[in-house]
Structure 1
Amino acid sequence: MPKTLNPLQMVADRWQPSARFVHRAALACVVMAVIIVVTGGAVRLTQSGLGCPTWPTCTEDSLTPTPEMGVNGIIEFTNRMLTYVLCAVVGVAIVAARACAPRRRPLTRLGWTQFWLIASNGIIGGITVLTGLNPYIVAAHFLAATALLTVAVVMWHRSGEGDDEPRDLVAGPVRQLSWVLVVASALLIVVGTVVTGSGRHAGDAKKDVHRIPLDWREVTQLHVDFVYIVIGLTVALWFVLRAVKAPAVPRRRVVELFVVLMLQGVIGYVQYFNDSPEFVVGVHMFGSCLVWIAVLRVFLSLRERGEAAAVPAPSGEHEAVAGGQPVAASSR
């Protein structure tokens, strides 16, 4: 029987990327996921949420923005086009994960998960426009982007380690404390979307956009309460890791998280006491991505799966790279 044509297998037969390349491709997915969140925030903060008033086209008669739509149409359409850039970056990561030797199916699955999250969030983004920036759909749009960022970070982390069964580096109660930190941080992000949905930046100045019927200042106070909870859990985890003599990497990750939280807290207070200026709100959204990445890195650092396998050089004339370190190839 003839073999089934598989484009990814055809690429793998001709190209075996190094572990370093796969790791960098996964990191590029993380970077693009953050960019999508920040640019999506820029659309809202520049009142360009309905710059393209319909979807999937920009207007009823045009795929692209028309001159009459001005800068708002350009901003909204540019954000849509960045989705294709994100798809391309994730596509490279999928192909690299599939083509590397030995084959790493978990990385491939994480890559495809990102692809389907991008596709589903594109649909949610379309519904956001068609519903006139319904705040609940806007919140779902942001949370789906956060889910994408989560998978991207996991793939980035997994690309730098092996595929052995996970081995805990700390005792069970410490892992449970890290789970509490993750849950509290996730709730912090969710409450932040409620602040956005009830706050002053509705996303479009030309239309009366529906808002979540809550006092945004009271919701902001709840958001701040969760900030204190996350900071407290971070400090507690640091002391616990020192007490149990945990490896250096998890303790360093906790310190990194604490620093990011402090910087994000400063930005948040500047935002609140200056009536939420657009630029500061945008920086705060970027900071929220960094906080979530730091939380995930803390959680993932508490277990290990061994080192990534070496990638053989296909011709014997080049170096393979495993885990960021060169591996000598045989010479002829």
Structure 2
Amino acid sequence: MPNSLNPLELIARRWQPSARFVRRAALATVVMAVVIVVTGGTVRLTESGLGCDTWPKCTSGSLTPTSDMGIHGAIEFGNRMLTYVLCAFIGLLIIAARARTPVRRSLTRLGWAQFWLVMSNAVIGGIIVLTGLNPYIVSSHFLLSTALLTVAMAVWQRSREGDGEPRGLVARPVRQLTGLLVGSTLALILIGTVVTGSGPHAGDAREVHRIPLDWQEITQLHVDFVYIVLGLTVALWFTLRAVKAPAAQRRTVLDLLAVLLLQGLIGYVQYFTHLPEVIVGIHMFGSCLVWIAVLRVLFAQRERPALAAPAVSPTGDDEAVQPETSPAPEPEPAASSR
């Protein structure tokens, strides 16, 4: 009976989104995952980390910032409100994936994974405020945002594939080299959070506890890993060229190399100009682009075919029910984020 249907089933009976709509909804979650990282960095770089001095309210007596809190309260509260915008995009993705025929269970599961990651990070954000910007918790906040971006990229990739078993497109040694590249990039990002936790931008004008390490020495370690990732990227490109891998796979590696070189240049500029806030913010945005580029390299090395050709939808919308096999290249999320 219709009354026994859950809301998602009711929507599915009345709306059949196209495959393109689902892909765009998935891409929107990637963009928003980057936006939430950049705005979170803005909170720290403008010393607005304690602009709202409690959580979940902004003050003990007000849900929103008061006029005497100034710009810092507005910036911190604005970042909190972006969480709801991100959840709205994720909700749209889940609804669209559920309403589409045939149902893409893989997409809805990944969409719910995004939602719970956002909720977990919101709680961690509250703990950060309640602990006075504890640097270790701040680092975990950024790492969880990276996990969110990873799942969002996986959803976007899956929205352009079928639901068949994944098939590797490269030999095992190439996959191992790629795995080493992915792991080294993760280490690079992790060390970057330690630089942030020990560096001069504490997130508030008042004295804030920092990670008790020499941030310049940690920065040097960070730079060392940049060279490791660069070397692995170049090695992977030559390997793919030697085995005559498809041009699309080699192109993702070249894209990663370009992003790494640009990010490295920004890193040197921020270091020798004594970490100006704007350049540091651009560097945080660049870290998202680096991780997106690495994931694109990884995803390009396998494919998922469609399970089977489903019947035409009763609505007559052929696009809504055709399997997605080897779709044309989509715009890069990096370009969409700018």
Aligned to 2:96: 96
Post-superposition offset of 1:320:
4.4
Which residue number in structure 2 is paired with residue 233 of structure 1?
Answer: 232
**Identity among equivalent pairs (%):** 70
Residues 1:181 and 2:185 aligned together = no
The one-letter code of the counterpart of 2:47 is Q
Amino acid at match of 1:278: E
- One-letter amino acid matched to 1:187: A
The verdict on how the C-alpha distance between 1:311 and 1:151 changes in structure 2, with shifts beyond 3 A counting, is: farther
Deviation, structure 1 residue 248:
1.6
In structure 2, the residue matched to 1:160 is 160
TM-score, scaled relative to structure 2? 0.92
Q: CA shift at 1:315, angstroms?
A: 2.7
Aligned partner of 2:149 in structure 1 is 149
Query: Cα–Cα, structure 1 residues 93 and 269, in superposed 2: closer, same or farther, change >3 Å?
Result: same
Q: Normalised by the size of structure 1, how large is the TM-score? A: 0.94
In the aligned structure 2, how far is the partner of 1:42 from the partner of 1:136? 18
Q: 1:319 deviation in Å?
A: 5.6
SS in 2 for 1:59: coil
Q: Could you report, residue by residue, the CA deviation over 1:224-265 in whole angstroms, capped at 9, with x for unpaired residues?
A: 000000000000000111111111211110010000001101
Pairwise CA distance, 1:310 = 7.6
> How far apart, in 1, do the equivalents of 2:320 and 2:117 lie?
32
Q: Deviations over 1:27-56 (max 9, x none)?
A: 000000000000000000000000000000
Task: Rate the CA distance shift 1:321–1:3 in 2: closer, same or farther, 3 A.
Answer: closer
Letter of the 2:292 counterpart:
I
| Offset, 1:311 | 9.0
Which residue number in structure 2 is paired with residue 328 of structure 1?
Answer: none
Name the structure 1 match of 2:19: 19
Secondary structure, aligned partner of 2:4: coil
Per-residue CA deviations over 1:136-155 (Å, capped at 9, x if unaligned) read 00000000001000000010
User: Is the aligned partner of 1:44 residue 2:44?
Assistant: yes
2:248 alignment counterpart: 249
Which residue identity is paired with 1:188?
L
Q: CA deviation at 1:4?
A: 3.4
**Compared with structure 1, are the counterparts of its residues 181 and 291 closer, same or farther at alpha carbon in structure 2 (3 Å cutoff)?**
same
Q: Which residue matches 2:260?
A: 261
Return 5+ residue gaps in structure 1 as ranges. Answer: 326-332
Q: Deviations over 1:123-182 (max 9, x none)?
A: 000000000000000000000001000000010011001111111100011111111111
- Aligned counterparts, 1:79-90, within 5 A: 79-90=79-90
**Residue type of the partner of 1:150?**
T
Does the 8 A contact of 2:16 with 2:320 survive in 1?
A: no
Given that residues 312 and 318 in structure 2 are in contact (C-alpha distance below 8 angstroms), is that contact kept between their aligned partners in structure 1?
Answer: no
Q: Aligned residue for 1:208? A: 207
Report the Cα offset of residue 316 of structure 1.
2.6
1:172 maps to 2:178: no
Measured against aligned partners, the alpha-carbon deviations of 1:67-96 in whole angstroms (never above 9, x if no partner) come to 000000000000000000000000000111
| Cross-structure match for 2:272 | 273
SS of 2:152's equivalent? helix
Q: What amino acid maps onto 1:261 in structure 2?
A: L
Runs of 4+ with deviation above 6 angstroms: 308-311
Listed one character per residue, the Cα deviations across residues 272-293 of structure 1 (whole Å, up to 9, x for unaligned) are 0000000000000000000000
- Equivalent position of 1:119 in the other structure: 119
Cα distance in 2 for partners of 1:2, 1:101 equals 19
* Contact in 1 for aligned 2:121/2:141 (Cα 8 Å): yes
CA distance in 2, matches of 1:95, 1:51: 35
Residue 197 (1) aligns with residue 197 (2):
yes
User: Which residue number in structure 2 is paired with residue 220 of structure 1?
Assistant: 219
Aligned residues of 1:44 and 1:202 also touching (Cα < 8 A)? yes
In 2, distance between residues paired with 1:269 and 1:119?
35
Q: Which residue of 1 aligns with 2:53?
A: 53
